[in-house]
Structure 1
Amino acid sequence: MPETQDIPFNEYLMQSSNDEIVDRNSKLKPHWDVLFNNIEKIGYQEMASRQSDLNWYLSENGVTYNVYNDPQGLNRPWNLNTVPTLMNYKEWQVIEKGIQQRAELFNLILKDLYGKRELISNGIVPQEVIYSHRGFIRQCDQIDYLTKKQLLVYAADIARGPDGQMWIWGDRTQAPSGMGYALENRLTIGRVLPELSKGLNVKKLSGFFQHFNNLLVESSPRKTDAPNIVVLTPGPLNETYFEHAYLASYLGYPLVQGNDLVARDGYLWMKSLKGLKQIDVVLRRVDDLYADPLELREDSQLGVPGLLEVVRQKNVSIINPIGSRVLENPGLIPFIPGIAKYFLNEDLILPQVASWWCGQPRERQYVLDHLSELVVRRIDRPHSDSVFIGYQMNTEDLEMLRHQISDRPYRFVAQERIGFSSTPTFINQTLEPRNMAIRAFGVYANNGYEIMPGGLVRVAPIVGNTTITNQTGGLSKDFWVVDEKEEKRKPRVTTHKTVQPYESGLKDLPSLTAENLFWAGRYVGRALSTARFLRMVVKQMNFTNFNERKPNYQSLDALFKAVSNLTCTFPGFFEEETMEDPVAEIYAVILDPNRSGSLAHTMSMFFNAYYSIRNLWSSDMWRVFERINTIWRTIQNDSNVNNRKIVQVLDQLITRLIAFMGLVEESILIEQGLLLYFIGLQLELSMLNISKCRSLLVVKLDEHIEYEVLESLLNSHESLNIYRHSFRSYIKIENVIDLIILDQKYPRSVAYRFNRLNKDLALLPQSQISRELSDYEKFVFEGFAKLRLANSSDLCKTEEDNSVRENLDHLLSELSDLLFKASQAITTTYFSHSYQQNQLIQQSFSE
């Protein structure tokens, strides 16, 4: 093993006194030597290129981490560095035992705090540490659980201290995040840099996730071969929503929100298209206090009213149980060694950060005397605003903190400042030492805890920075546990523990997911149809030189008013002032995100709807989706917009939307909810087609003006070539009505869409179990019958001295009304979330 001075990374080592690549004798660790040799073979320039490939891959696959108030936008791309962090398996085995011990210990603490409370009655833990912490939920007292352990998933934040040992500096017990990101990091590095692991026997993660899945299956109160398991998410705005969707997709379980679930008759049910479906296990990613608005925070929109009562009756398993946040209490840390002695009669295998709870006089005095050297935290608010870094504070702030501690000492805990080790991080074609921390994961299995042979490594954003969080711009790394022996290949097993075949269908589709699919179809249809019409109008503005408009440009005026009708951006072009200067209005209809009905507003709703169902997507769908997002941001951020740029962007947008629609049909099965997407799409396109026809065909115009309007309508409908091929004649109103409205064989006609809706609606669950037509079927069937009975000659007629085609207007008005009623009936039948319970007394859970 070479001495430090022989290492070709001398300059790197000079930047850090405590680095992962060297042992206590300042010798390069053998596995790091292998990795560095692999990096040198690849070359630094190629490594930089691979970093770009890696960034592109993560972005294209939609790996994101939501950062609130971030200038880059809500869904910020996940940052993964090309150089992993390595650890020898022999050292990892010690850490593994330490994490297993700590997981077992915290399970016993959780059981005791909501059970006998021996820790408090025997004076091992002061009662103020527990009862003053908002994570202690009294409603969870004395709940009995069916699972062998109460704490089923545990995560520990660890880092190497100056003494060379791995220290515990944080515990995650409520809903530990990071497992999905760790898996995605491993898969991404393997795809982009497969040669990096040459000569290194890296432990695989697949076995851990099989244990994780088995835990979910075995936690079911009903001992069935195929329990009903869901992943409960707060929704797309949550910072780790990507992981929620990723794990749901990877494990094959529905991703649900609170509105998808309902507690009735002592059981938990998922509202699906085929009615209520009993749920056995909930992998919870909603915080404790928000999980049940009936017993906990009444203002929560994220949880399920009555969920705690279902838990009490042992009819559902929650992972981890509600109330487990109390274990993330930093005030517990000073008492952990004593608790380990009491419950296990053992010393801690892994040391933890030295901590002093200020509720004890001697400890409080020590903290006050050394305040400028310590890190102080509030025990009940684990947020950034509750952490006070004494060595970064001025005298005035320290004095203010001193008074706060003196006033309510039981609410504060102080910890020593420790210097974390650094790890090589590839930045700008060089290696930099960045301080790092590891999140390690454990799940209950085989009467103990299985620990992931890897984890999530996070490193500081700049050299020397000891603040390591994703919210402040930290990077992530893959974490390799490497062994001297090659890991034996195990036979590939199914993800699910059960061997019973199970085919999911509409009965497994959560109602909120179904609703999002329905609206996803509507929004993509609205975006496409609106973009096409606006593109046509902007082109017509160019052709007619709208800056020098003259009174006889009636065709353009008709198109402008049709824009307002189509987008419902009233008063819009129906105001005389707007018609005098249409440029500002047309640009607002396209680009103003705060204007309801604008294309920008529609695109925003499109993005939200599709991001909410991202667990159903293929990777190709996400790539096209991101491209649409990029195209749209380009024009939104352009301060010098003109007609040419708008047409170019709309051209690109329309092409990508069409591609995206095709991928939707390829990626989701009818029984997975594609049926709802089709219904929403056909409904929206039908409504918009009717709106365009009503705006442009109902009023009879002068012959040459009407010709221009008809040609524009066909253009916006992508039907001009079809018209010429079908009729080979001068454009006439009768033929346009036949093609656009009445032709049952033309896929873009109103009649065709009504017929398609008839067939799709018949496949919905309510339609299949009833011998009679449902309300939504009746409305669509009535509309289709009216179209079958109509003919273009009658629809074109006008009375003398009347320029309005009354028959056409009446038909289109009726069709529009019937589609609206059908949409309302679908919503009432399948998407109603009105079931609500309220607390009898008001409780305070202020944060």
Structure 2
Amino acid sequence: MSAQVDEQPGGALEAYRALLASRAVERGEPSAPAVDELIGNGGVRPDHELLAHTVTAMGTTGLLTRAARARRFVQSDGVTYGSTDDGGQARNWHLDPLPVVLGAQEWAGLEAGLAQRAHLLDLVLADLYGERTLLHRRVVPAEVVLGHPGFVRQADRVRLPSPHQLLMSATDLARGSDGAWQVIADRTQAPSGAGYAMANRRIITRTMPALHRGTDLARLRSFFHTMRVALHDVAPETSEAPRVVVLSPGAGSETAFDQAFMATLLGFPLVEADDLTMRDGRVWVRTTGRLEPVDVILRRVDALWSDPLDLRADSQLGVPGLVEATRRGTVAVVNPLGAGVLENPGLQHFLGAVAREVLGEDLALGMPLSWWCGDDRQRSYVLAHLDELVLKPLWRDVDNESEFGWALSRAELDRLRARIEAQPWAWCAQEPLPDSSAPVVTRDGLEPRRLVLRTFAVAEGGDYRFLPGGLARVAASMDEYRVTGSAGALAKDVWVLSAPDAAAPPWVERSSRPAAVAEPAPTAGLAPRVAEDLFWIGRYAERAEGTARLLKVADDLTEDFDNRPGSLGAAAMTAVLDAVGAVTTVPAGDAREPGGRVRHLRTLVTDRRTPGTIAYAVDRLVQGSQQVRDQLSLDTWPILSRLEETLSAEQTEESQLQPLLERLIESLLALAGVMAQSMVRDRTWAYIDAGSRLERAQLTVALLAATLAPGRSPVLEGQVTEAILVAGESIITHRRRSAAGLGPASPVHSALDLLLLDVDNPRSVIFQLDRLGPDLELMGDGERRTQVAEIAQRLRAADVHRLAGHDRTALDQLLVRLGAELRDLADAVERRHFVRKAPQRTHVTEWTLGRDA
């Protein structure tokens, strides 16, 4: 199929229809798609006419343009999936521009079936950690539950103070051969993806604006309002103003973006284990000012890792004593510890019988035919048809994934058979679902890919509410049957059409607690980990900008004088390059060789591994921002993305550094503007601004010490001083004052006056100190504020005229002392505000009975 064919009127859609027909003829795999979301047997499916019209009107070229636009938005919005080798967030989120459309009537039926299933799972969860009637009556074999790692015995008899024990759930769905949705898995441990669903919607709204405006959709935001109310309402009854936190494994988690964006949407702080502690039988957040109680934890850490005292002793992700706190009822954990047992595919096999036992009705949503290998007859069938079935272990981990029998070699089938026979109770099998396919934009036109739909539910009042549509994922290729992130799946936005008589969203109902407006934001504390990341965001942003400005001056001099040794300009160039070395602390290497200076400057811009370079600072700036995504404006991410793109652009020896440095400075100024204009002046702002002020002051002092403290001839000193004023963004003021006869006659005197003592110059050291004081006051640090005031007072007392004289010993001493005081101040801030918990270790003692026992 060629792009030329697709560009005929209706070509993209007709080519897709023809491809579906040819795939139907060739279909041979057990799970080959039999239903398409866009094209049915009679043509375009109902409710898809506008989408089909858009595809026809755009053609392949237009669709590829939209796909490229979606990729840019994913990049600029900072949507990530997976992790990098150094613990950062990987850029592995891929979004197709064409949405999956569900009609209002279809969604209403699906929602009813999902509500029934959520209610059933809720009752099952309560029974398994309560009376265990289902096990006693053998409705569910005990080994299916008790042998599952998701069954947390330590959580037995622990209940949430709520009518529902399963507050949140996610359900993975695929279509059967008849086109009806069937459940293929439940996600109840710590359901992920709702944040991605909202991110997808934000991107597709901008990618396909006309299609979005022309479609009456059910909106997503009400779901997050409902979730917020539900989390407040599940708090212990003793909490009048509940504090809710989102517990994350950290930025190294593959779904770190989802967790942080969810926290942003809900307005709850994102915390890690290091931020929490136990006191008096309850959980507290460690902030830079005080301990603050926690009433509800929205858990994104798997249960077994949540408490190293009662559960996995080697976990660094949990809070020692959390299980005991839940048992005492001082904190509510959502979903409850132990909810992961409901993800058990063996339990799913018995769920139809459970529904008849518990609800007195059949399940409204079907499931693939399945077999539990703990039963002799069922196991015999499975082993006889091993190459036709999907084999699922009762629990998943990296070494224990589902197997697709038809994709295994004879040797692999034999090994799988041996595993099943060794532990038959730990395996079940399912018939393969044909799934459905959905069109994906590729260079060759539209291609059908297998689709899985994940829906999201939250308990609110006596019912469950659902995110309209949810999150769709499609396989990485036409022949791929695994629809998982690890297999390169793409995401799709899901559009649920609004019903003509749609009721008002349920979130407008008032919460039963008055806690949503608990405490004014300015008084809320920050965890030391968060405060430290914010502080270093300010420092790295300022370090990158200050270094870029200095390198811009150095590169300009190098371009003019690198090949003119012995000239006055070459001497100025050497002085500035020496200053670059002093400020960045990066060795010059072969800078004295031909072309070596230019290569060295390029290294200082693009080398990501060496501390002191711009790329190193930007990488740390991005990583720090990812750690505290929930604290930053959404406008931050396009700027950080542009910074990364600028540094990633291919550079050759012929490429000039000036345009690159200018683009970097523009982006860093934009970032500073977003910070200055978008952030409330609370502690979050104070830590960022304090980091920026300290970094700028230290860079300025280091630059002045390297350039103006050494004595030079008047002519050379004039050139060096002018270069430093350019790097300090103060040259225009210097020239204007000199021309008007208002400034000092000596260039050195003028530079020291502007860059050290001018209280109106935002680049001067005294300006930084004057702004640092209020930051420290916001941080609640009176001792450090006094220290800053003393430093500023000594600096104001300096005689700049004497310092700029022929003998620069006093200037050198002043700058050395000032630099040391600033470093000591930064160290004192870190010691006072960023104290982390000591690494936690649980000592496991083996108890033995004495000989006479």
In structure 2, the CA distance between the partners of 1:126 and 1:33, relative to structure 1 (3 Å rule), is same
* Contact 2:561 2:569 (8 Å CA) reproduced: no
Residue of structure 2 in register with 1:641 after alignment: 653
Q: Specify the code of the residue in structure 2 equivalent to 1:818.
A: E
Residue among 34, 39, 46 paired with 1:30: 46
User: CA–CA distance in 2 between the matches of 1:207 and 1:155?
Assistant: 17
Q: Specify the code of the residue in structure 2 equivalent to 1:788.
A: R
Write the mapping of 1:742-761 to structure 2, written as runs, cut at 5 A.
742-761=757-776
What is the Cα deviation at residue 546 of structure 1? 5.1
User: CA–CA distance in 2 between the matches of 1:331 and 1:758?
Assistant: 62
Residue among 208, 214, 224 paired with 2:223: 208
* Contact 2:225 2:507 (8 Å CA) reproduced: no
What is the Cα deviation at residue 196 of structure 1? 3.1
What is the Cα deviation at residue 790 of structure 1? 1.1
User: CA–CA distance in 2 between the matches of 1:109 and 1:425?
Assistant: 39
| Offset from partner CA, 1:56-103 (integer Å, 9 cap, x none) | 344333333336579xx9442643333332334444333323222222
Residue of structure 1 in register with 2:76 after alignment: 60
In structure 2, the CA distance between the partners of 1:575 and 1:294, relative to structure 1 (3 Å rule), is farther
| Offset from partner CA, 1:368-401 (integer Å, 9 cap, x none) | 2222222223322244862322211212222222
User: CA–CA distance in 1 between the matches of 2:563 and 2:721?
Assistant: 20
What is the Cα deviation at residue 222 of structure 1? 4.1
* Contact 1:64 1:76 (8 Å CA) reproduced: yes
Write the mapping of 1:119-130 to structure 2, written as runs, cut at 5 A.
119-130=134-145
* Contact 1:374 1:390 (8 Å CA) reproduced: yes
Q: Normalising by the residue count of structure 2, what TM-score does the alignment of the two structures yield?
A: 0.88
In structure 2, the CA distance between the partners of 1:423 and 1:576, relative to structure 1 (3 Å rule), is closer
User: CA–CA distance in 1 between the matches of 2:270 and 2:342?
Assistant: 26
User: CA–CA distance in 1 between the matches of 2:38 and 2:557?
Assistant: 70
Write the mapping of 1:4-19 to structure 2, written as runs, cut at 5 A.
10-11=17-18, 13-15=20-22, 17=24, 18-19=34-35
In structure 2, the CA distance between the partners of 1:837 and 1:36, relative to structure 1 (3 Å rule), is closer
Residue among 576, 585, 595 paired with 1:559: 576
Matched, 1:709 2:709: no
In structure 2, the CA distance between the partners of 1:748 and 1:190, relative to structure 1 (3 Å rule), is closer
Residue among 315, 326, 342 paired with 1:327: 342
- 3-state DSSP class of the match of 1:76? coil
What is the Cα deviation at residue 658 of structure 1? 1.0
What is the Cα deviation at residue 167 of structure 1? 1.2
In structure 2, the CA distance between the partners of 1:292 and 1:731, relative to structure 1 (3 Å rule), is farther
In structure 2, the CA distance between the partners of 1:842 and 1:707, relative to structure 1 (3 Å rule), is farther
More displaced 10-residue stretch of structure 1: 159-168 or 41-50: 41-50
| Offset from partner CA, 1:802-831 (integer Å, 9 cap, x none) | xxx332222222222222222222223322
- 3-state DSSP class of the match of 1:443? strand
- 3-state DSSP class of the match of 1:386? coil
Residue of structure 1 in register with 2:681 after alignment: 670
Matched, 1:789 2:797: yes
In structure 2, the CA distance between the partners of 1:791 and 1:613, relative to structure 1 (3 Å rule), is same
Structure 2 unpaired stretches of 5+: 1-12, 25-33, 847-853
User: CA–CA distance in 2 between the matches of 1:410 and 1:86?
Assistant: 40
Q: Normalising by the residue count of structure 1, what TM-score does the alignment of the two structures yield?
A: 0.88
Q: Specify the code of the residue in structure 2 equivalent to 1:560.
A: L
Residue among 558, 561, 564 paired with 1:544: 561
* Contact 1:24 1:164 (8 Å CA) reproduced: no
In structure 2, the CA distance between the partners of 1:813 and 1:323, relative to structure 1 (3 Å rule), is farther
Residue among 813, 818, 831 paired with 1:815: 818
User: CA–CA distance in 1 between the matches of 2:608 and 2:574?
Assistant: 24
| Offset from partner CA, 1:231-251 (integer Å, 9 cap, x none) | 222233322222222222222
Q: Specify the code of the residue in structure 1 equivalent to 2:631.
A: L
What is the Cα deviation at residue 576 of structure 1? 10
Residue of structure 1 in register with 2:173 after alignment: 158
User: CA–CA distance in 1 between the matches of 2:240 and 2:210?
Assistant: 41
What is the Cα deviation at residue 171 of structure 1? 0.7
Residue of structure 2 in register with 1:740 after alignment: 755
More displaced 10-residue stretch of structure 1: 461-470 or 182-191: 182-191
In structure 2, the CA distance between the partners of 1:484 and 1:710, relative to structure 1 (3 Å rule), is closer
More displaced 10-residue stretch of structure 1: 55-64 or 755-764: 55-64
Residue among 357, 373, 398 paired with 2:372: 357
In structure 2, the CA distance between the partners of 1:808 and 1:663, relative to structure 1 (3 Å rule), is same
What is the Cα deviation at residue 285 of structure 1? 1.5
What is the Cα deviation at residue 439 of structure 1? 0.7
User: CA–CA distance in 1 between the matches of 2:358 and 2:376?
Assistant: 26
| Offset from partner CA, 1:18-52 (integer Å, 9 cap, x none) | 22458997575432345434654676655554444
- 3-state DSSP class of the match of 1:436? strand
Residue of structure 2 in register with 1:518 after alignment: 535
User: CA–CA distance in 1 between the matches of 2:829 and 2:806?
Assistant: 36
User: CA–CA distance in 2 between the matches of 1:22 and 1:671?
Assistant: 50
User: CA–CA distance in 2 between the matches of 1:97 and 1:189?
Assistant: 27
Residue of structure 2 in register with 1:778 after alignment: 786
What is the Cα deviation at residue 791 of structure 1? 0.9
Q: CA RMSD in A?
A: 3.3
Residue of structure 2 in register with 1:149 after alignment: 164
Residue of structure 1 in register with 2:850 after alignment: none
* Contact 1:274 1:507 (8 Å CA) reproduced: no
Matched, 1:139 2:154: yes
| Offset from partner CA, 1:708-752 (integer Å, 9 cap, x none) | 322222222122222222334775333322222233332211122
| Offset from partner CA, 1:540-582 (integer Å, 9 cap, x none) | 222222596899955444333322321233xx24999889954
Residue of structure 1 in register with 2:484 after alignment: 469
What is the Cα deviation at residue 218 of structure 1? 0.6
Q: Specify the code of the residue in structure 1 equivalent to 2:837.
A: S
Write the mapping of 1:56-135 to structure 2, written as runs, cut at 5 A.
56-66=72-82, 74-76=89-91, 78-135=93-150
User: CA–CA distance in 1 between the matches of 2:399 and 2:103?
Assistant: 33
Residue among 808, 831, 835 paired with 2:834: 831
Residue among 361, 374, 377 paired with 2:389: 374
Q: Specify the code of the residue in structure 2 equivalent to 1:828.
A: R
- 3-state DSSP class of the match of 1:442? strand
Residue of structure 1 in register with 2:701 after alignment: 690
Matched, 1:438 2:449: no
Q: Specify the code of the residue in structure 1 equivalent to 2:124.
A: I
Instruction: Give the number of aligned pairs.
Output: 817
In structure 2, the CA distance between the partners of 1:64 and 1:133, relative to structure 1 (3 Å rule), is same
- 3-state DSSP class of the match of 2:487? coil
Percent of aligned pairs with the same amino acid? 33
Residue of structure 2 in register with 1:651 after alignment: 662
Q: Specify the code of the residue in structure 2 equivalent to 1:724.
A: R
User: CA–CA distance in 2 between the matches of 1:474 and 1:522?
Assistant: 37
User: CA–CA distance in 2 between the matches of 1:578 and 1:291?
Assistant: 57
Residue among 190, 199, 203 paired with 1:184: 199
- 3-state DSSP class of the match of 2:778? coil
User: CA–CA distance in 2 between the matches of 1:309 and 1:673?
Assistant: 33
User: CA–CA distance in 2 between the matches of 1:496 and 1:524?
Assistant: 41
Q: Specify the code of the residue in structure 2 equivalent to 1:685.
A: R
* Contact 1:353 1:415 (8 Å CA) reproduced: yes
User: CA–CA distance in 2 between the matches of 1:531 and 1:148?
Assistant: 58
* Contact 1:687 1:819 (8 Å CA) reproduced: yes
User: CA–CA distance in 2 between the matches of 1:21 and 1:604?
Assistant: 41
What is the Cα deviation at residue 319 of structure 1? 1.2
Write the mapping of 1:236-255 to structure 2, written as runs, cut at 5 A.
236-255=251-270
User: CA–CA distance in 2 between the matches of 1:579 and 1:785?
Assistant: 48
What is the Cα deviation at residue 154 of structure 1? 0.7
User: CA–CA distance in 2 between the matches of 1:653 and 1:576?
Assistant: 23
Residue among 619, 629, 632 paired with 1:617: 632
* Contact 1:162 1:419 (8 Å CA) reproduced: yes
More displaced 10-residue stretch of structure 1: 217-226 or 102-111: 217-226
Residue of structure 2 in register with 1:802 after alignment: none
In structure 2, the CA distance between the partners of 1:206 and 1:623, relative to structure 1 (3 Å rule), is closer
User: CA–CA distance in 2 between the matches of 1:652 and 1:26?
Assistant: 54
- 3-state DSSP class of the match of 2:844? coil
User: CA–CA distance in 1 between the matches of 2:591 and 2:197?
Assistant: 60
